[in-house]
Structure 1
Amino acid sequence: MSVSVLVILLAAAAVMMVIESRGIRTTLQLSFKGDVKRETAFLAQWGQSVSTPLAALIVWQLDPPRRRDALLMIGGVLAASLMCFIVKRLCGRVRPNRENAGKFLGPSLKHANYRESFPSSHSACAIALSIYLATLYPAAAPTFWFLGLMTALLRYVMDAHFPSDVLGGVAIGYFNGWLAVQAATRWLSHWTI
């Protein structure tokens, strides 16, 4: 992990939060239709509850020596998701294009999608999954990075999040993906499946 990349992501998220808090419009309000809408929705699900187990299943089936990696990869994505869940519940930021958009409402134990904007869990999980797969299969790294970054970008383009939410999610995914790779490096020699 590059600490400088993590610091840059966090600093960019902080700068964007300041810009967003000043009322400067940062959302796009685009409208997608037909196949474009369906394809973007598909790409925006990389790292989520269907694509992550599918990626793990493919690793499990096609690369038996790396079956343990499939489990740690799921663990890294789950860790990113859990971290986002906790931060979302603590911050309570209202999503774009809603009443009080961008406002931080504070902690809540109750699920309410409208107030779960920061950080972007989709972005975090997509990046965590991409980092792990790119480490396992360097030849396909550009594809995995494309999928992860496209998911993050689409969360912004589809107005699900403010730019700072996406950057915060990418930072969380980057950190958790790196942690999962480190765990694999240290623990896999001790496991047998």
Structure 2
Amino acid sequence: MPRLHDRSKPSGSIVRPFDSKVLSYTPLLFAVLPFLVLYIDGPVKTFILSVQSDWGLMVASAITALGYGPVAAAVAVTLLVIGLKAGKHREATVGKFGLLAVILGGLSSQIMKNLFCRSRPLAEKSGQFFVDFPCLGKGSGLISFPSGHSVTAFALACVLSRAYPRWTFLFYGLAVLVALSRIYLAKHFPSDVVAGAAIGLLAGWIVCRFAAFSLVHGHT
């Protein structure tokens, strides 16, 4: 007897058994952080300052804009609106989940920034943690760890790659470029952007995993 088509989940939905590969990467990223802080951050900062150029700063500034929370949220909202207006379930779902991932990642990064109070590469006491703790409201120079741009870029990339797997390399490639731009602009250390990538991936995973569970049980 032919199997009837299951209409409970529209075709093209990102709600499907979740690939655990993304989650498996996050412990590795967190594990390398001490090594980066101790041996990589300082030399990379020195190297970056020696190779910066006006043209490079201009390009990096344009790329880094893709990681701004409002920009990432605008991309998600645009997909949500398109999906709702055109009756496209996948786009509406991607937009909703993408926005949730950006918000979750952004809130998490802000909490961690104000807990670790790490001084930015060009700020006084560069690279030190717990400077003037608690650092809430004491200036952007003390909120280097983790990189918020990297968090939002990887959170959105995680959701988008689940919906459009054919473009996975593009989404994550752009997220990597955003992370590298933060280092080139001397706004963050390598450990900051690696931590941001890990948090962003985790935020995207949590949103997609929770959404898949809730939709299966009819709680949408």
TM-score (norm 2): 0.77
SS of the residue corresponding to residue 174 of structure 2 reads helix
- The aligned counterpart of 2:110 is 85
How many matched pairs?
189
Residues 90, 108 of structure 1: 8 Å contact kept = yes
- Give the 3 Å change call, closer, same or farther, for CA 49–169 of structure 1 in structure 2: closer
- The aligned counterpart of 1:144 is 171
Counterpart residue identity of residue 96, structure 1: P
SS of the residue corresponding to residue 32 of structure 2 reads helix
- The aligned counterpart of 2:214 is 187
Residues 157, 175 of structure 2: 8 Å contact kept = yes
- The aligned counterpart of 2:75 is 55
Q: In the alignment, does 2:125 pair up with 1:100?
A: yes
Distance 1:19 1:37 in 2: 25
Q: In the alignment, does 2:46 pair up with 1:25?
A: no
Counterparts of 1:58-69 in structure 2, within 5 Å, are 58-60=78-80, 61=82, 64-66=88-90, 67-69=92-94
Unaligned runs of 5+ in 2: 1-19
Identity score, percent: 27
Distance 1:53 1:88 in 2: 20
Counterpart residue identity of residue 112, structure 1: G
TM-score (norm 1): 0.87
Task: Show structure 1 runs of 4+ deviating over 6 A.
Answer: none
SS of the residue corresponding to residue 165 of structure 1 reads helix
Unaligned runs of 5+ in 1: none
Q: In the alignment, does 2:142 pair up with 1:115?
A: yes
- Once structures 1 and 2 are overlaid, which stretch shifts more, 66-75 or 54-63? 54-63
- The aligned counterpart of 2:198 is 171
**Largest Rg, 1 or 2:** 2
SS of the residue corresponding to residue 110 of structure 1 reads coil
Counterpart residue identity of residue 44, structure 1: T
Residues 69, 184 of structure 1: 8 Å contact kept = no
SS of the residue corresponding to residue 26 of structure 1 reads helix
Query: What is the CA distance between 1:111 and its match in structure 2?
Result: 4.3
